[in-house]
Structure 1
Amino acid sequence: MTDNRIVLERIADALERLAPAAVQPTDWTSATAFVWDGQSARAVLKHDCVEIDRLRGIDKQKTAVCDNLARLKLGAAAHDMLLWGSRGMGKSALIRAAVASAQERHPGALTLVQIAPNSLDTLPLLIEDLAKQSGAFLLFVDDLGFDADHAQDNLALRSLLDGGLVSRPPNVRIAVSSNRRAIVARDADTNDLLHERDERDNALALADRFGLTLGFHPCDQSTFLEILHAYTDPLGLEVDAEEANAWAISRGSRSGRTAYQFAVELAGRAGLPL
């Protein structure tokens, strides 16, 4: 009998060691940004982002996102947002910058929660917690895919946005970025997408659930230089337009990202931080 008890105690100890640690409650007032990993939220002590005034070439998108966040932080009706289009044109940067700007104007009114990959199916658990909190929360899903590998994430998000059993409180909204170039583009005559049927249907089923959809497109040469000067002018750096364009061409595109990278190159040559 004693031997059996010892064995059972050892099994219980082993199971206890294997069991995951209890999730600690999150203090949502301890930071302005968090990362949700599917089980717990990690506070981001330094919210790293570009100043919103430095984001150029996306004025309409910037106004739309800032206006929507202003509604959210004040407790008014606000949209879920889908930012789609070309890589490097400021989708993620705009979300972070707009949230930081809103937080600066109204401290404590809005919190950013970035959702880690492969954790979208746990959002109902997160939202249940956020519904009990004061203040507004923007859940950010960065670079969402629409291929077969992301089917489960898409279904989870579609259900949460519209049609699921879990209702979202008015203080929680979702922003998603996607590098898909034509997620909501329709042909004027056939009302059809410029993609294969299955992929089109999956994209539309999700895209239609967002109240605000914003496209980001490749920039032309003048816009590329405007974005570049937004970084270099405050540092007093001179820009050779020919060299800047050659830099962009060597990387295959003109975008906000390549403009920033060239600004880093110029600042580094001058021994300056950026």
Structure 2
Amino acid sequence: MSQDSPSSNEALLTALHRQLERIAHALETATGTAAVSFPEDAPAYRWERRQGPFGGGRLVPIENPALIRFDDLRNVDRQRQAIERNTRQFVAGRPANNVLLTGARGTGKSSLVKACLQAFHDEGLRLIEIDKEDLADLRQVVALIRQRPERFILFCDDLSFEEGEGGYKALKTALDGSLTGAAANMLIYATSNRRHLLPEKMSENLEARPGENGEIHPGDTTEEKVSLSERFGLWLSFYPFTQDDYLRAVDQWLRYFGFSDGEAAALRDEAVLWSRTRGARSGRIAWQFARDQAGRRS
């Protein structure tokens, strides 16, 4: 019975080693654990999730993001001062908080975050937009930017979770629950119409009674929900506009489009009618009215 020579055994081991390396690389790519290079510098990025069962993704540069100036916003002076101060501390390398902006629709929550990028981009601030469905990839995003010299705001717009969704656990970990800690050069800014990000039920206030699903301590569920929003160090609340607030916003945006003060004043009745047909008053509706008027005049 012949024996293989040492040289043939060595060649076989080498071939097996190379095959294992190829398999490992393929698995890393499929599961999203392979190293992802940071793209070219841009003002903002969007996290794009890879299609497939294993998740993972990449940062896609946004060369010309839609920005807004702080001075273009009305009726949010207190909120503006707080988020501007917090962001200035952050870009200067001083302690700063993650921010949760909650409240009425169209009142300037997302616009304030975009205004932060416009104001502090030249000082090294960058924005990464991520959908709530992709929050499971937060660990990859953090690993990708941790050693970068820039300062990053991870922006999740219109954030809320329904019963059974698991993305909030990844968000809790990224905020301050991980043993490795959050990246020193990253903050999370999120907007939501829900104060605690998760649906709340009347039964959750009945601590003394068992839950409808047989839960002995329904109050523990409430604590779990509240604990997510409490991990944001800075809460900013936004409220519906009064008619005067709305008309001031209309005047601001009409002047932005080149209308004179007299022309803006003459359009106030139309602006009020516009808001009534929409059933609400907000900065967004004021902006839409001004765009409509500017388009007609052009």
Which TM class, normalised by the smaller chain length? 0.7 to 0.9
Does 2:50 correspond to 1:25?
no
The answer to whether the 8 Å contact 1:146/1:202 transfers is no
Aligned to 1:47: 65
Aligned to 1:73: 91
Q: Distance in 1 between matches of 2:287 and 2:98?
A: 28
Q: Distance in 1 between matches of 2:36 and 2:171?
A: 25
Does 2:279 correspond to 1:257?
no
Q: Distance in 2 between matches of 1:62 and 1:71?
A: 14
Does 2:173 correspond to 1:159?
yes
Provide the aligned C-alpha RMSD in A. Answer: 2.6
| Structure 1 ranges of 4+ moved more than 6 A | none
The answer to whether the 8 Å contact 2:45/2:61 transfers is yes
1:144 to 159, 162, 166: 159
C-alpha displacement of 1:169: 2.2
Q: 1:68 to 1:267 in 2, by over 3 A?
A: same
Q: Distance in 2 between matches of 1:242 and 1:194?
A: 41
Give the stretch that moved more between structures: 133-142 or 152-161. 152-161
Q: Distance in 2 between matches of 1:123 and 1:74?
A: 24
Aligned to 1:131: 146
Q: 1:85 to 1:251 in 2, by over 3 A?
A: same
1:229 to 235, 248, 251: 251
The answer to whether the 8 Å contact 2:131/2:156 transfers is yes
C-alpha displacement of 1:265: 0.8
Larger Rg computed on CA atoms: 2
C-alpha displacement of 1:116: 2.7
C-alpha displacement of 1:162: 2.4
- Partner amino acid, structure 1, of 2:106: G
C-alpha displacement of 1:202: 4.7
Q: Note the alpha carbon deviations across 1:44-89, whole angstroms, 9 max, x for none.
A: 0002122221111001111111111111111111100000111111
Q: 1:246 to 1:79 in 2, by over 3 A?
A: same
Q: 1:48 is paired with a residue of what secondary structure?
A: coil
Aligned to 1:34: 45
Q: Distance in 1 between matches of 2:85 and 2:99?
A: 12
Q: Distance in 2 between matches of 1:74 and 1:195?
A: 44
Aligned length: 244
- Partner amino acid, structure 2, of 1:65: I
Does 2:239 correspond to 1:217?
yes
Q: 1:36 is paired with a residue of what secondary structure?
A: strand
Q: Distance in 1 between matches of 2:78 and 2:201?
A: 24
Q: Alignment identity in percent?
A: 30
